[in-house]
Amino acid sequence: MKIMVVGTGYVGLVTGTCLADLGNSVTCIDSNPDKLAVLKTCKSPFYEPGLDERLKRNVDAGRLNFSESLKDSFSETGVFFNAVGTPPMESGESDLSYVYAVVNEFFKTYKELGCTDFKVLITKSTVPVGTGSEIEAIRNSHGITEDQVAILSNPEFLREGTAIYDFFHPDRIVIGSSSEKALDIVQELYGPLYRNETPIVRTSIQTSELSKYASNAFLATKISFINEMANLCELTGADVSDISKIMGMDGRIGKYFLHPGPGYGGSCFPKDTKALVYLAKQLGYNLNVVAAVEDVNESQKKRVMSHVLDYFDNDIAGKTFALLGISFKPNTDDVREASSLTIIDLLLKQGAIVKAFDPEVKSLAQFEDNQNFSIVSDSYEAAELSDAIILVTEWNTFRELDLERLKSSMNKPSLFFDLRNVYSPEKLRDAGFETYVIGRKLLSSSQKITQNG
């Protein structure tokens, strides 16, 4: 098929490249000439494992190209993906201005070029329920019918760091439209992914739009729940690693997203939970569970500071911290809503010095003017003459650190705050560290819980 993808952000570029990998002819559209210049060198503007190699392969094969103009190849193209950003506004509402700008340009171009052939306009961006109906209304206002352009919703379920694998091995593909012809075309487009039964769910636009928010809100709920259990474990002497294992062995619960940490971040969970709460309020309904998930997540990001301050008797001015991991999760350079940003900000406001290392994040604009903040070349440089290590992101490179080497270069006493449960408290203590491991804090005898009655 001949396909156009508008927007070369995370979703658009991965989708376009992988569709080209299936043998389709794909044109990716972006209005940013600097980004296009990078893409034309077969380099991704963001880090995603394996993406650069696939970009080069498909560009070299002539299946993938880039353009600034929607008019390029418009007439010959039958399937269009709208994959521009929907950033959150202050209220939590999704900013749909970029989505509607593409929609209006699409219909204007369709009319200007005198097109009569059938085309499918697919919303790939995460949008609130009702957006598809509004796009249909815009189409109708241009005097274009569903027999000419069908509107379809196809939300993405890609995880940063494993997006290419997720594209080729999806749990499900959701497509929503009132046009059976459009549904057939998009189902055929994804058909090569499967040898046997295709896990495609055909539904209404409204259901398709809501399914992305519902899925992300539920996963965010699991994260906030296990973080609350981790906090409770610290107060009772229980071990959250065992709690997670026990819960995950229950088939009704599942083992995924039960790993405690300093709160979720990234481009999806924070934005989508806020947008879902906002949407419900506009409809006169309070999503109390999802609102509580947001509250827990924000407090979790800040909670680590209470432990840091406890260890230093509420005075960390002039103390040096080695912060390991800046991105919101491993295998990405995305720092949107990352817990590290909150932790760095709180440390600097208390007068601390922060030396950070991340395998992919090389700069942070919001802190570049602060002389107490620097990004260094590796974990050992970060630890040198530091008073404490804070492990924030569980990159694989942090799982087999030479703990004795780290400690030997640090000030004494040497502290290790493990916010991802990467190391056992025993292993850290054996290396000579004073430790805090999330959800596994050991209690003194005076703190132990006794049974009432």
From first to last of the 453 residues of the chain, give the pLDDT tens digit. Answer: 999 999 999 999 999 999 999 999 999 999 999 999 999 999 999 999 999 999 999 999 999 999 999 998 999 999 999 999 999 999 999 999 999 999 999 999 999 999 999 999 999 999 999 999 999 999 999 999 999 999 999 999 999 999 999 999 999 999 999 999 999 999 999 999 876 666 899 999 999 999 999 999 999 999 999 999 999 999 999 999 999 999 999 999 999 999 999 999 998 999 999 999 999 999 999 999 999 999 999 999 988 888 899 899 999 999 999 999 999 999 999 999 999 999 999 999 999 999 999 999 999 999 999 999 999 999 999 999 999 999 999 999 999 999 999 999 999 999 999 999 999 999 999 999 999 999 986 544 333 344 443
Between CA 184 and CA 175 the distance in angstroms is 10
* Span 104-128, pLDDT tens digits: 999 999 999 999 999 999 999 999 9
Q: Is 18 a catalytic residue?
A: no
Per-residue b or e along 171-200, where b marks 16 or more CB atoms closer than 10 Å to that residue's CB: eebbbbbebeebbebbeebbeebeeeeeeb
3-state secondary structure of 73: coil
Between CA 444 and CA 149 the distance in angstroms is 68
Measured in whole angstroms, the distance separating CA 399 from the mean position of its chain's CA atoms is 22
Question: Three-state SS across 295-354?
Answer: HHHHHHHHHHHHHHHHHCCCCCCCCEEEEECCCCCCCCCCCCCCHHHHHHHHHHHCCCEE
Among the options 18, 28, 233, 268, which is catalytic?
268
**Residue that the structure tokens 């995460």 belong to:** 126
Question: Strand 353-357 vs strand 415-418: parallel, antiparallel, or unpaired?
Answer: unpaired
The amino acid at residue 134 is E
* Span 272-328, pLDDT tens digits: 999 999 999 999 999 999 999 999 999 999 888 888 998 999 999 999 999 999 999
Contact criterion met (CB below 8 Å) for 425 and 435 = yes
* Span 338-358, pLDDT tens digits: 999 999 999 999 999 999 999
* Domains along the sequence of the chain with CATH: 2-203 (3.40.50.720), 236-437 (3.40.50.720)
Q: How far is CA 89 from CA 31, 60, 276, in A?
A: 22, 40, 13
